[in-house]
Structure 1
Amino acid sequence: MLPIWLTEDYIQTALRAFYKDDQLQVIKLWAKPATEKGENFVGVMTRIYVDFESGDGSVKNMSYILKQGVPSDAPQAKIFKEYDVYNRELEMYDVVLPKMSQILEEAGFTDKLMAKAIIVDRSRTIMILEDLAPLRYTNADRVKQLDLTHTKLVLDMLAKFHAAAIILNQREPDLLRHNYASHFFSRGKEGYGEVFAGLFRAFIRYVKTKPDLNSRYGAKLENIVTNLMDYAARSVDVDEKDLQTLVHGDCWTTNVMYQYDDEGNPTTVLPIDFQFSTWTSPVVDLHYFFSTSLQTDIKERETELVQYHYYALKRTLEVLNFKGVFPSLFEYQLQFEKRRFQSVIIANTFQPIMVYEGCEDPDFVNLYQDTPSGIKFQDSMYENKEIQRRIETILPILDAKGFLDAH
């Protein structure tokens, strides 16, 4: 169902400007939902189909993605308004990503950094983007998660993203410092505090069902809840010693799309969904990505993967003629390690959602609210045997590093 404002005249005006063709005529316009329930909590995506005749007489059948915010009466709408996620993504597609893409193109990098924006309409808080499906971009399996080849492609992509943002910030110092200050864990905001506290309580509930885990970690986890968001905020804090850039902010399996060769091997990767792009340390993206998206044996190679991203970032900045101070690998690993608390939250509360295969209702409020349907959904997340194994592995590591103690 198309919004009433999305008429043939509206899309014709947008397409004429995008294709620079004042003679373009729209013949037909229709739509289908682009995502299923539970696949995207932040926005509503609709695939729109347009038949049009170009000025040269050729007729084309094209599809595009209409991206809108969730309805104002949706439970999560208030949260996303508080974090201004929609205006941030509009700004990313309209201004920041094109500038970052240009920086990379000038240096000879050819991989796409973004889906092209047909129109960014700030008055309606919507975007119409090119449809990546006809270009043979697709998501990897979020449940199977990523092997080493898929993982390294993302790390290479993030290196280009982070490097381009560093150069953009040098060229236009005011552009990225204002609209990109808030994160999931930002101080002074309440929405995600409620979400993460609810998720963390569900995690503790699971731990309490395992006597061995509960005896060692239950009390420590209970103590963390009180200061959960403060500890998390510290993991995003930066100071003058930290390398700083714009991060994607929500980089996980479903927010990257791959192209594959005829043998099924991934060849290129493209990021999507920039609602949580934030000015902070690049290792924030690494923690989020590692904790949500990697197969178990790949996650165990974390230190090596930080090293891989470090050298990819360093090489890219050299090509872009970066003249600033760049940390040593040892310093970069320390910057990664001191943000380890993200693993406490993301690996133990976010990842069970991201690989969920159960049949309980995935409504947003059921992720964190203590209602009967919410508790039923949350408890079912921890029935996944692989998630249980990961919890048994990660809790001793986090405890040994001191991240389960008050700090």
Structure 2
Amino acid sequence: MKTPRSGKDITGPWLEYILGEHLDKPPASLKVVNFTVGPGAGPGDGFNSELVKVTAEMTEGEDDKSIVPQRTTTFSMIAKFESLEPMSREINRKMRTNQREYVVYKELMGNLNTLLISKIPEEPKVPIPKLIYGKLSAQEYVLVMENIKTKGYETNDKRKGLDWPHLLTAIDSVARLHALSYVYDKSHDIKKEHSCIATTSKTLSTLIPAIMAMLHNLVSFLKSSKETEALGQKIEDVKSSLLQKCLSILTSESPVTCLIHGDLWNNNLMYKHKDTEDGTVGEIEDMMLIDWGQCSFGSPIYDLQYIVYTSTTRQVRQAHLDELLRHYHSTFMRLVTLIDAPPSNWDYDQFIVKWKEFRAVGFLFPFALILGTLSTTNPANKKPEPSVLDKPYLAPVKALVNGMKSGLAKVMAPIFFSSVGRSMVEGTFKRVMKPVVDELMSGKNEVLNMRLLDLVYEADEDRVFVA
């Protein structure tokens, strides 16, 4: 059956088809009696794709002519389609973002957890939402997953950051992901089996124009105050060498390489808490890792520094960083040893050497995410304004305009990845993100300013800005 192009194209027969596939039942024995489709993400979330929330009430019967309900079941799902924005859609196709996430859900994560069960079945699996249906071809793409929000999972407040218990829970699961994929790769060669999963350095190189633009904006902010002017000048003096240092770190050999999540921050972690009698938040019961479109193959240190420096406060880092790193390393080594595949040159001291080597990477990419996600003025975080073309009688005009946008995007997307295009992208980002700089300079967003300045001060203390 043809896959819908977006949430508005979802139909009852298509839902019967995918649920039949999920339940291993013929569609003729299923009947969707009611379904609803609504937004699955808020402004600023899911901008690389269209996320929709689907609730379907289904009955089971003997055949399609005479439905004799045996039971009624309600399915709560999240469906992910290609981005509705033409340029984002074409860039994602070039970067194979959708293909990577499809491979993780459809095959790779199942293989990793199968390895775990066969070797150490008593250990918890890598936690991701259950896949209900997936389709990927040159013209079709959809992932339908269980809506874990209906089971009590929720994201932490990104403005507060992860406290120690939530951070520790996440790191424990990430250590399992890294350990299992490290072992699995020894016999399967993940990059060869799944060519869409590129190296971390190749994946991140496409972000360099945006990173450099945001670094320019950071310097402008720092130099606007006498207290931070010298620090802003120091960063401006090493901008190019800082970038080259990061690329060199990412391409250097590592004793351990594995599948990394690639976008491991607060909003891609969903927690379930135990119920309490007084209605307060209880202990953490479970956690899920979501949004795998940026996964790649490289050093596990990237994931670790990304979550630490994007999603925690300086107070949490000062109090728990050493304990965190020891827990990660011991969990990783315990698992790979139980599977009889421990790496050489990866004892705790050697691990810490790599952690320190990565410090520039742990500043450059996390600072950009903080700047973008904690801002209230970032255009990407705002709900799109209604268009006059949304009126029903202008549907033909809207279709024509969308077709022209898609055609232009197909022409422009390859330029985005060229040297000329990267210069254009950097200039565009500087202009588009100017409201974020103004917000920083106003000082009104105290959380953004504090988290960003703490990151800069820590990086300076760790000599990241030394040429």
- TM-score with structure 1 length normalisation? 0.89
1:9 matched residue in structure 2 = 13
* Structure 1 residues 57 and 352: alpha-carbon distance in aligned structure 2, compared to 1, 3 A threshold: same
Partners of 2:141 and 2:245 in 1: how far apart? 33
Deviation at 1:394, TM superposition (A): 4.2
Structure 2 counterpart of 1:258, from 247, 267, 271: 271
Question: For the Cα contact (< 8 Å) 1:64–1:130, is it kept in 2?
Answer: yes
Partners of 1:150 and 1:398 in 2: how far apart? 24
Deviation at 1:207, TM superposition (A): 0.6
The question of 1:369 aligning with 2:381 is answered no
Structure 2 counterpart of 1:297, from 307, 312, 315: 315
Deviations 1:70-98 (A, max 9, x none): 12524x34443332211111111111111
Partners of 1:333 and 1:35 in 2: how far apart? 38
The question of 1:31 aligning with 2:91 is answered no
Pairing of 1:212-227 with structure 2 (within 5 A):
212-215=227-230, 217-227=231-241
> Higher helix fraction: Structure 1 or Structure 2?
2
Structure 1 counterpart of 2:60, from 44, 54, 59: 54
Structure 1 counterpart of 2:337, from 318, 337, 340: 318
Question: For the Cα contact (< 8 Å) 1:341–1:403, is it kept in 2?
Answer: yes
What letter matches 2:459 in structure 1? L
Aligned residues: 399
2:256 matched residue in structure 1 = 243
Structure 2 counterpart of 1:178, from 178, 192, 195: 195
Deviations 1:267-308 (A, max 9, x none): 221100011111111111001000111132112232331111
Partners of 2:41 and 2:153 in 1: how far apart? 15
Partners of 2:135 and 2:19 in 1: how far apart? 13
Q: Gaps spanning 5+ residues in structure 1: where?
A: none
Question: For the Cα contact (< 8 Å) 1:145–1:295, is it kept in 2?
Answer: yes
Pairing of 1:6-405 with structure 2 (within 5 A):
6-22=10-26, 23-55=29-61, 57-74=70-87, 76-106=88-118, 107-108=120-121, 109-111=123-125, 113-123=127-137, 124-174=140-190, 175=192, 178-183=195-200, 186=202, 189=205, 191-215=206-230, 217-239=231-253, 241-263=254-276, 264-300=282-318, 301-325=320-344, 327-356=346-375, 358=376, 361-362=379-380, 369-371=429-431, 374-381=433-440, 383=443, 384-405=445-466
* Structure 1 residues 30 and 250: alpha-carbon distance in aligned structure 2, compared to 1, 3 A threshold: same
Partners of 1:38 and 1:237 in 2: how far apart? 31
* Identity in percent: 16
What letter matches 1:214 in structure 2? E
Deviation at 1:177, TM superposition (A): 6.7
Deviation at 1:171, TM superposition (A): 3.1
Partners of 2:48 and 2:17 in 1: how far apart? 28
Deviations 1:147-205 (A, max 9, x none): 1100100010001111111122123125567322244x53895x422211111111111
Question: For the Cα contact (< 8 Å) 1:143–1:354, is it kept in 2?
Answer: no
Deviation at 1:10, TM superposition (A): 1.9
Question: For the Cα contact (< 8 Å) 2:371–2:452, is it kept in 1?
Answer: no
* Structure 1 residues 177 and 84: alpha-carbon distance in aligned structure 2, compared to 1, 3 A threshold: closer
Partners of 2:322 and 2:24 in 1: how far apart? 48
- SS of 1:338's equivalent in the other structure is helix
Q: Which moved further from structure 2: 253-262 or 24-33?
A: 24-33
2:400 matched residue in structure 1 = none
Q: Which has the larger radius of gyration?
A: 2
* Structure 1 residues 28 and 148: alpha-carbon distance in aligned structure 2, compared to 1, 3 A threshold: same
Deviation at 1:392, TM superposition (A): 4.5
Deviations 1:76-128 (A, max 9, x none): 34443332211111111111111112223332234562211111110212111
Partners of 2:301 and 2:25 in 1: how far apart? 43
